[in-house]
Structure 1
Amino acid sequence: MSVQILIDSTADLSREEAERLGVRIVPLTVHFGDRQFIDKYNITEEQFYDMLNTEAEMPTTTQVSPQSFLDVYAEYPNDEIVGIYIAQKLSGTYQSAVIAKEECGREDIYPIDSLTVSAGAALLVNEAVRMRDEGKSGKEIAEHITELTKHVEMLAVFNTMRYLVKGGRLSSTKGTLGNLLGIKPIIMVKDGVLEVIGKERGMKKALDFVVRHLRELPDFDSSKPIAYSHSFNPSDLELLKQELGEGQTLIMGSVVGTHAGPGALLVGYYRK
């Protein structure tokens, strides 16, 4: 019996990268008014950020439905299925995957709450792929990845807090700091929770904060890979890479970009 790995589109792997790794993307959707787009499938990152900058109405997002998961599960009747999904505190997608598992009554399906998103989730996906390619069972992969979720964190720097506040991912009180005098809050994503851990004036100082924070972590696991994602901010991304080193690099898709906005940077890493 082989193992099929499912991810949702907020892991921000491109369709080409997902195909190379042999994983299946189950996409969320983004809406501009009454227009609906399937993340990664019928809207490119370039198209999305162009619309984000020009459309008067803010986009909204929709989680994957239980029926969508049921349809995908049915495509793999003879495979074990390991699913790695956006933190359930950020989306109902994981819960939809669990509901679909219960409805189909299969014991060989293993949904996992990644407790993270984007670059953080990509780290877990890569490890799951490695284990699958080594011949591990779905149960073995799921148990190991579930344990690893406790060790993955992510730091984020946003150009503006407008999108996180508008999307309900951060309170308006906390978001206010990011819209004053060029202040860039630094946010930690841990256990599916977004927490403002610092604020700096200007992107350069915010990136310096991120580098300093990681270097001062007593249990930062330098033996494991790091991953980056950005919403079309390649110049600041290179500054971060010069300090922290190379890592898998992703472009935030339309769903993550709805909440991050343009110019954001994320770095995912492991703690021991």
Structure 2
Amino acid sequence: MSVQILIDSTADLSREEAEQLGVRIVPLTVHFGNRQFIDKYTITDEEFYGMLNTEAEMPTTTQVSPQSFLDVYAEYPNDEIVGIYISQKLSGTYQSAVIAKEECGRDDVYPVDSATVSAGAALLVREAIRLRDEGKSGKEIAEYVTGLAKRVEMLAVFNTMKYLVKGGRLSSTKGTIGNLLGIKPIIRVKDGVLEVIGKERGMKKACEFVAHHLRELPDFDSSMPIAYSHSFNQQDLDALKQDLGEGQTLLMGSVVGTHAGPGAILVGYFRK
């Protein structure tokens, strides 16, 4: 029996990359007013950020429904299914996957809460792919990735805080401070919780803070890969990669971009 890996679109793998890796994307949805777009399928990343800059109304997002998962599960009746999804503290998508598992009555479907998103989730997906290619069972993969999820973190620098505040991911007080005088808060994402751990004036200094913080972490696991994602900020990303080294690089899609806004940078990594 083979193993099919499912991810939701907030892991920010492109459709082309997912196809090459043998991974199935189950997409979330973005709304601009009464217009609905399927993340990575009916709106490109370029189109989304263009709309973000020109539309008067800010976008909103919708989780994957249980029925959508049921439909996808039915496509793989003879495969074990391992699903790696956005933190349940950030979206109801994982819970939808669990509900669908219960409704279909299959014991070979393994939903995993990644406890993260975007670059952090992509790190877990890569490990799941490696284990699948080594011939591990769905249960073995799910158990290993669940353990790894406890060790994955992200550091994030946002060019503007208004999208996080509007989406309810950060308090308005912290968001206002972040937007004053070009101050860029540095946010740690751990177990699906966002925490401001520092602030610097400008993206350049904020990225330098991120690099210094990671180098100084006593339990930073340098034996594991790192990953980056950004919302069209290649210049600051390249400078950060010179400090930290190469890693998988992703472009934030429309769902993550709804909350991150343009110009953001995320770094995913493991602790020991």
Aligned residue in 2 for 1:243: 243
Alignment of 1:12-31 (within 5 A): 12-31=12-31
TM-score scaled by structure 1?
0.99
For 2:110 and 2:161, locate their aligned partners in 1 and report how far apart those are by CA, in whole Å.
35
Identical-pair percentage: 87
User: Which letter maps to 2:146?
Assistant: T
Aligned residue in 1 for 2:205: 205
Aligned to 2:181, the other structure's residue is in SS state coil
Gaps of 5+ in 2: none
Alignment of 1:143-158 (within 5 A): 143-158=143-158
Alignment of 1:66-215 (within 5 A): 66-215=66-215
Quote how far apart the aligned CAs of 1:174 are: 1.6
For 1:260 and 1:245, locate their aligned partners in 2 and report how far apart those are by CA, in whole Å.
23
Aligned to 1:180, the other structure's residue is in SS state helix
Alignment of 1:44-59 (within 5 A): 44-59=44-59
User: Which letter maps to 1:200?
Assistant: E
Quote how far apart the aligned CAs of 1:202 are: 0.6
Gaps of 5+ in 1: none
User: Which letter maps to 1:62?
Assistant: T
Quote how far apart the aligned CAs of 1:162 are: 0.1
For 2:48 and 2:9, locate their aligned partners in 1 and report how far apart those are by CA, in whole Å.
14
Aligned residue in 2 for 1:36: 36
Aligned to 2:19, the other structure's residue is in SS state helix
For 1:176 and 1:105, locate their aligned partners in 2 and report how far apart those are by CA, in whole Å.
48
User: Which letter maps to 1:260?
Assistant: A
User: Which letter maps to 2:96?
Assistant: S
Quote how far apart the aligned CAs of 1:23 are: 0.4
* Alignment deviations for residues 208-234 of structure 1 (CA, whole Å, 9 cap, x no partner): 110110010001011111000000000
Aligned residue in 2 for 1:7: 7
Count of residues paired in the alignment:
272
Aligned to 1:82, the other structure's residue is in SS state strand
Quote how far apart the aligned CAs of 1:171 are: 1.1
Q: How well do the aligned residues superpose, as a CA RMSD in angstroms? A: 0.4
For 1:41 and 1:27, locate their aligned partners in 2 and report how far apart those are by CA, in whole Å.
8
144-153 or 169-178, larger mean C-alpha shift: 169-178
Quote how far apart the aligned CAs of 1:175 are: 1.2
For 2:260 and 2:203, locate their aligned partners in 1 and report how far apart those are by CA, in whole Å.
15
For 2:214 and 2:132, locate their aligned partners in 1 and report how far apart those are by CA, in whole Å.
30
User: Which letter maps to 2:121?
Assistant: A
